[in-house]
Amino acid sequence: MRTHHVLALVVLGALGHARAQDRALLKGPLLQDVRHDGVTVSVQVARAGDLVVVARARGGAEVRRTREGIDAGAVAHVELGGLTPATRYDYEVTLGRAIARGSFHTAPAPGAVVPSHLSTIVVYGDDRTQHDEHARVVRAIRRDRPTLLLHSGDLVEDGSDESHWQTFFDIERDLLASTPVHFALGNHEIGWGGDISLWQRYVRTPGGSPRPDRYWATSYGHIRIIGIDSNDDFADGEQRRWLETELRDARTRHRARLVFAMAHHGPYSSGRHGNHRAMHAFGIPELLERHRVDLFLQGHDHVYERGESPAGLKYLISGGAGAPLYPWLRRSTLTRAFEAAHHHVRLVVRDTAVSITAVRPDGGVIERCSFQGPGRWKCGRDIVTPDSPAWPLWAPRPWIVLVAVAVAALVASALVVRARRRAEGR
């Protein structure tokens, strides 16, 4: 806990607007649920007062929202609507006086081709425990100047611990104040007994589902982005039915030319956790393939991995934003690239052409690749073994432990029987 507080102070001291915010804001401003006509500005205030959020387009009209009599410690999600698509807005948050300023871009209109100045999207996830590494990844992301963030989940180590959320928002404050983000629900956001109350307190998703706090869908111009709750076991069928409808409507009703799906766990992985069993048990990969999802984004395994299923479902694992790294565990014919490294992934979209660059915190490039719509990956080379660290033979694979215990039990039992027989023979 002490480390968290020290790090938070260091990060806050580095922020250009920290002095004004320290006294007025505990968290935020955080830009969420960006749409072609609006965005949600989220803050947690340190003192009571009237909260006002104002957004202005250059040469355009002003949009103002007020929350009167907000209590100290309260979280406010202020929705700014009536905005112009694909437009930069400068905004200001006041609580008696100005306490934060920033800017953002609204999303392009659904179906409209994403313009070049909004074409950089960053994927990252699994921040959790190594806060210095997390801060380094955030600095690298900011150098890329993305206009949209897709976070693959596991923002915190313990979703029921308020101090963990504070550390996350301290480290990411400047990034999230200038770049809208969509979050996938990670397993670590869920506390004991399935408690997601703090997740619900701080996170706003695009919604449009029976459980908008857990799974959602939104349009970013001609890209349809679908957020899946992979903590669900899919047994009751509710999310699967919703997902099938969303996938069916993506290219017709929502006029998408690219479809991205995102979840914390993914159907495929050659890392420590491996393939997601519930997804396979209920046919989620086949559903994604049948509806021609162009790219599946996931985290959970703390690695960078790129791969493709036999039916052509391309996937990226980006779980290296600060959590302890995992080694390569299993060989898979689906894996095209693997590196146990802290990183983020930069996507640049040009119509249906997508280029990806996996970037280490120091700016070094893990690899560059591209694809065109439903086409296959195009890369210079695959970077799986021998460069990737394999799981060492002495590491505790679960099945090896079980076999070793069983063998030891059999040997011990045989020795006991042998000893008894010798005793009886005497």
H-only helix segments in 87-156: 131-144
**Each residue's pLDDT tens digit, 346-396:** 999 999 999 999 999 999 999 999 999 999 999 977 776 434 444 443 344
- What is the per-residue pLDDT for 400? 54
* Interatomic CA distance for residues 288 and 314, integer angstroms: 10
> Tell me, what's the pLDDT at 384?
60
**Cα separation, 257 vs 255, whole angstroms:** 7
Give the pLDDT mean for 186-196. 91
Question: pLDDT confidence of 140, banded at 50, 70, 90?
Answer: very high
For the chain, the residue count is 426
**Residue 91 · residue 314 · CB < 8 Å:** no
Query: For the chain, what percent of residues have pLDDT higher than 90?
Result: 77
Q: In angstroms, rounded to a whole number, what is the distance separating the alpha carbons of residues 133 and 15?
A: 18
Token reading at 297: 């984004």
% of the chain residues with pLDDT over 70:
87
Beta bridge pairs of residue 62: 56
Q: What's residue 28's pLDDT?
A: 96
pLDDT in tens, 144-168: 999 999 999 999 999 999 999 999 9
Give the pTM. Answer: 0.86
> CA 318, CA 360: separation in Å to the nearest integer?
11
∠ Cα 277 129 167 (to 5°): 120
Q: How many CB atoms lie within 10 A of CB 425?
A: 6
β-partners of residue 98 are 94
* pLDDT per residue as tens digits for the range 225-259: 999 999 999 999 999 999 999 999 999 999 999 99
Q: How far apart (Å, rounded) are the C-alpha atoms in residues 315 and 377? A: 10
Residue 334: per-residue pLDDT: 94
The per-residue pLDDT of the chain, averaged, comes to: 89
Is 250 within 8 Å of 259 (Cβ atoms)?
Answer: yes
Compare 130 and 399 and report the one with higher pLDDT.
130
What is the DSSP code (8-state) at residue 205? -
- Dihedral angle sign, alpha carbons of residues 297, 303, 305, 309: negative
Query: Which pLDDT score is estimated for 230?
Result: 97
Q: In what order do the strands lie in the sheet with 335-339?
A: 216-220, 223-227, 258-262, 295-298, 314-318, 304-308, 335-339
Kindly state the average pLDDT of the residues 295-311: 97
